[in-house]
Amino acid sequence: MRRQFKAAASRLLSVTGGDRFYGVLSGQRRSPLIVGYHRVVESLASMQHTSIVAMLTSRRTFEEQIDCIARRYRITTLDEIGSHLESGEPFEKRVAAVTFDDGYADVYHNAFPILRRKGLPSAVFVVTDLIGHKTVHQFDRLYLLLSRELKRPGAIHRLREMTLPHAATIVALGKLRSLSSDPTLATQAILSALSHEAINSVLETLESSDLLPLESPESQRPLDWRMLEEMAGGGVTIGSHTRRHPLLTFEAPEVVLEELVGSREVLGRRLGCPIRHFAYPDGQFSTPVVAAVKKAGYRFGYGICGHRDLLDPLLTIPRRVLWENSCLDGRGRFSSSVMHCNTNGVFDIFARCARNHQAVGVDDGSRPQGCEAN
């Protein structure tokens, strides 16, 4: 019912021009549209039992979404958008950019060929410690282990026992006490409550109590350097997504800086080009983290919501994250009307950012805390 109502309202707004009018009122139409994806896969059917579903977009849906964007926007590079934002010059036409987080190899296999065929640029933000390795992302590993663990009797109690000692704040304690039996929700709760090292400890405990070794699907493998170099030579801007993908608001200042500087140096050395763009893992940033991104030498930073840092808006540029179900009608088919309402920010009035853009236990007091909605 919710999807049907959303689709019907979108059709009405699209036909009457209401979506564009709202975009003008909200300021969306004066800003570049930057869309973010995680994974582009051949089909969801073979992936949805081993992957976090909200990170998946099928090849077919991805191409439909890109074609829909291209009809209303000129798809360009992050460098061009960044230059305009730095200079304050207005865009002659509405522009958009396509980005991918985390550096999965399936972006090379499934999204890159589509964009190359259409002559469209894009950008990929990579986790440098994973490039060319068989090791999967920490959150994928956690999701796979929780999917297995939560099928067993007494799983929630055991999870609380192993996670609560790692909680550093009252907020974290609350999230861990309300752990869900749904592996996706449980994964989100743990990721949003614990530091990178604390999560590794939880993973080690889960793995040590398991009789069968965890076998990560081949589909979750990261890009290797050959793929990355080919993409960089084929119109893809390469940006940083840290070394290991920790949520930076949970880390000590020295860890944050090492993640930022280390990733940028490795990419610049291997690819032979300046690394100017950075995407915050899970869109989590705070004023001290933004200051560290600036200190590390990045010129542009990207979140996944509409929040901006008051003093460094170019280091907290909003993006709109899309996935398979972002733009469906009441029958589960792609809807250009829903897509247009989505890109014009119509649905933002019903949404609220779930991310706390304040540092967890970190505040040097040198800059005003807080962010503003874009």
Structural domain for 315, as ranges: 2-135+238-373
The whole-angstrom separation of Cα 336 and Cα 326 is 11
63 and 106: one domain? yes
| 123 and 269 co-located in one domain | yes
Place of tokens 């055991």: 158
C-alpha span between 73 and 250 (Å, rounded) = 37
Secondary structure letter of residue 296 according to DSSP: T
**249 and 199 share a domain?**
no
Radius of gyration, CA atoms only, the chain: 20
pLDDT band of residue 2 (cuts 50, 70, 90) is: low
Assess whether 252 and 323 both reside in one domain: yes
On the question of pLDDT at 368 being above 60, the answer is no
The dihedrals phi and psi of 370, each to the nearest 5 degrees, come to 120, 170
Q: Stretch 110-127: mean pLDDT, rounded?
A: 98
- Tell me: do 347 and 331 sit in the same domain: yes
* Of 16-30, 55-69, 142-156, 166-180, the least confident: 16-30
156 lies in the same domain as 277: no
Residue 369, helix vs strand vs coil: coil
Does residue 362 sit within a domain?
yes
Same domain, 312 and 336: yes
Output the CA–CA distances (angstroms, integers) from residue 41 to 15, 101, 313, in the order listed: 32, 14, 33
Phi, psi of 145 (to 5 degrees): -70, -40
**90 C-beta neighbours (distance < 10 Å), count:** 7
In a domain, 17, yes or no: yes
48 shares its domain with 129 = yes
What is the structure's pLDDT at 134?
A: 84
In angstroms, the Cα distances linking 14 to 88, 193, 199, 336, 343 are 30, 40, 45, 9, 12
Mean pLDDT, the chain, rounded, equals 87
The least confident of 90-94, 131-135, 207-211, 341-345 is 207-211
CA separation for the pair 37, 323 (Å, rounded) = 7
**Same domain membership, residue 164 and residue 118:** no
Per-residue confidence band for 109, with pLDDT thresholds at 50, 70 and 90: very high
- The pLDDT assigned to 57 comes to 96
Residues with Cβ within 8 Å of 151's Cβ and at least 6 positions away in sequence, in order, are none
Predicted confidence (pLDDT) at residue 8 exceeds the cutoff of 70: no
| Domain C-terminal end among 164, 191, 208 | 208
Residue pair 173/164 in contact by the 8 Å Cβ criterion: yes
Give the total number of structural domains in the chain: 2
Between residues 149 and 16, the one the model is more confident about: 149
Residue 232 lies in a domain: no
pTM of the predicted protein model? 0.89
* pLDDT average, residue stretch 270-281: 96
Is the distance from CB of 194 to CB of 167 less than 8 angstroms? yes
> Where residue 365 falls among pLDDT bands split at 50, 70, 90?
very low
Lowest mean pLDDT among 104-113, 275-284, 356-365: 356-365
Nearest-angstrom CA–CA distance, 331 and 175: 35
pLDDT at 355: 67
Mean local confidence (pLDDT), 123-151: 94
DSSP E strand boundaries for 28-117: 33-37, 39-41, 56-58, 74-75, 95-102
- Tell me whether residue 21 is in a domain: yes
What are the DSSP calls for 278-342, one per residue?
A: EE-GGG---HHHHHHHHHTT-SEEE-SSSEEESS-GGGSB--EE--TTTTB-TTS-B-HHHHHHH
Inside any domain, residue 173 = yes
Whether residues 128 and 151 fall in one domain: no
What pLDDT is attached to residue 342? 82
pLDDT in tens, 59-101: 999 999 999 999 999 999 999 999 999 998 878 789 999 999 9
Instruction: Tell me: do 95 and 148 sit in the same domain.
Output: no
Residue 228 lies in a domain: no
Give 47 or 162, the one with higher predicted confidence: 162
User: Which of 208, 226, 259 is the last residue before a domain boundary?
Assistant: 208
Query: Quick one: 60 and 115 in the same domain?
Result: yes
Comparing 11-20, 66-75, 81-90, 144-153, the range with the smallest average pLDDT is: 11-20
* Residue 190 in domain: yes
Confidence check: pLDDT of 285 > 80: yes
Q: Is 282 among the domain residues?
A: yes
Going by pLDDT thresholds of 50, 70 and 90, the confidence category of residue 5 is low
Q: Could you tell me the CATH number of the domain that includes residue 326?
A: 3.20.20.370
pLDDT beyond 50 at 369: no
